[in-house]
Chain A
Amino acid sequence: MVNNQVVERKDSERPNPSTATTTQSSDEQEVVIVADSLSKHFGATKALDKVNCKIGGASIFGLIGSNGAGKSTFLRLAAGVYKPTEGTILYRGQVIYDNPNAKKEIIFVADQPYFYFENLKKMSALYRSLYETWDQELYHELLQIFPIKEDQRLDLLSKGLHRQAALILAIASKPRLLLMDEAFDGLDPVMRQNLKRILARQVADDGMTTLIASQNLRELEDFCDHVGLLHDGGLLFVEELDKLRLGLVKAQVAFRGDITEKQLKSMGLEILRFHARGSLVEILSRNTELELRTILNQLSPLLLDVLPLTLEEVFIYELSRKAYIVSELLA
């Protein structure tokens, strides 16, 4: 790794090198957020409608959805900014809205944050007084990573830098639950990598749970362990990221003669997409890689390459089964 701004810290102070392992395995059972039939209506608009989900401790959870899907509404309900119209959302078993005990452990980074004071120096003093978990050393480390000076006027910053200033404050407060609206969007690759390293450390050390909302699946797919897809106020599915790709395989094959889709299906391939260009055939099928190879090898293909599957493809097929239009999410 080229950029090493995120230095290993305090390793000597750690009581036990396997802290991450132990915290995590015990946290895995623990559920941090439970939404039960959660709805939020604004007049006649149902921003969120009967959403059920559970988010486990130490998870990095990605919430995907287009504009108006209900992502920000969900985050605001989880932050206790909004009160549910119907249903409940609980943080470690407690109601969040109007509950200072829950809210002191939760920090929400809005996509358009608002600051009470004009610079980070004053804002950090405020956060230090509000959050007993505030980490001054971490705060200075973050100032090195993001291109914002402590005494710079926040109201003159661009929208992207505004969000980064809010991220600095949020992360240095060391919340147990961090909610971020579009936090990764618009970061350059170096900052992105550094942010991921810092978040990774906090997940490993403190078992912090992270909820990131984004319009763009690609912003999240290399960092989340679970993803939920919101559409039109409803949660379409929640799944472990690695499981989404299981049982779905894409391959490029070439045969000596012509092979039809029908023929392959009769041999046991559950083909979802069959695309032939000359003698080269691309197949997407609901099989394991081993099944696919075993079946195709019976035909002695000239070429058989199993190709990596993008999450977009996975989403398209998951959703096409539910007949939703997703092109807008994948733009």
Chain B
Amino acid sequence: MVYPEVNTQSGVPIYQQVKNSYHRLAALGLIEPHEQLPSVRQLAMELGINPNTVQKAYRELEQEGLIYAVPGRGNFLSDSQRELDVEYEEIRRSFRSAIHIAWTAGIERTKLHELLDDCIDEPHLSDKDE
């Protein structure tokens, strides 16, 4: 079973980190559609976090359609592709501000592509804690 990653020092609310992590795991294909997620109890114990926090993350993920709950059996990953418009827009904005910096510094297009590839290959591709 795949567990999400949580960093209690990052300052990002833990339920948010659990949610982000599941979105990432699903996007990367590390969890398959209809695969079961750890129970609230398992996850809370494994990570040493508040079960109410896990509960809240699961409830919101269900509302967002990333997971579905089967009463008495647990939570599973949905197979419907989520709309990623919000994320695309967010990424575009970040790219734009990076491009802006690059232009100001006279960095060329090919170097920018290189930098992007470097970033993708960095080992710690986590939320906002860099």
Contacts and interface: CB of A to CB of B under 8 A. Distances in A.
B41 A222 contact: no
A308 B45 contact: no
A20 B45 contact: no
Contact of B49 (A18, A222, A242, A297): A222
Interface stretch (A123-131, A149-157, A192-200, A259-267): A192-200
Interface in B12-61: 12-16, 39-42, 44-53, 55-56
A301 B97 contact: yes
Q: Which of A193, A223, A224, A307 has the most CB of B within 10 A?
A: A223
The B contact surface, by secondary structure, is helix
Contact of B93 (A58, A223, A293, A307): A293
A196 B93 contact: no
Contact of A200 (B8, B9, B50, B101): B50
Contacts of B101: 302-303
A309 interface: yes
Given A20-B40, A204-B40, A225-B52, A304 B45 contact: no
B73 interface: yes
A60 interface: yes
Interface in B39-96: 39-42, 44-53, 55-56, 69, 71-74, 93
Contact of B48 (A8, A24, A193): A193
A78 interface: no
B104 interface: yes
Interface string A301-319: 1111011111000000000
Contacts of A39: none
Contacts of B10: 308
A200 B49 contact: yes
Interface residues of B, number: 37
B45 A197 contact: yes
B46 A1 contact: yes
B100 A302 contact: yes
Interface residues of A, number: 43
A293 B89 CA distance: 11
Contact of A304 (B14, B49, B55, B97): B97
A300 interface: yes
Contact of A20 (B14, B16, B39): B39
A59 B51 CA distance: 9
A300 B42 CA distance: 45
Contact of B51 (A8, A203, A309): A203
A297 B41 contact: no
Given A306-B128, A308-B128, 9 more contacts: A17-B74, A18-B39, A20-B40, A24-B52, A204-B41, A222-B8, A242-B15, A242-B16, A301-B97
Interface of B: 8-16, 39-42, 44-53, 55-56, 69, 71-74, 93, 97, 100-101, 104, 128-129
> Which 6 A/B pairs are nearest by Cβ-Cβ distance?
A308-B11, A222-B8, A196-B48, A204-B41, A200-B44, A204-B51
17 contacts: A1-B47, A1-B48, A8-B42, A16-B72, A20-B40, A20-B51, A59-B52, A193-B48, A197-B48, A200-B45, A200-B51, A201-B45, A225-B53, A241-B13, A301-B97, A302-B104, A303-B97
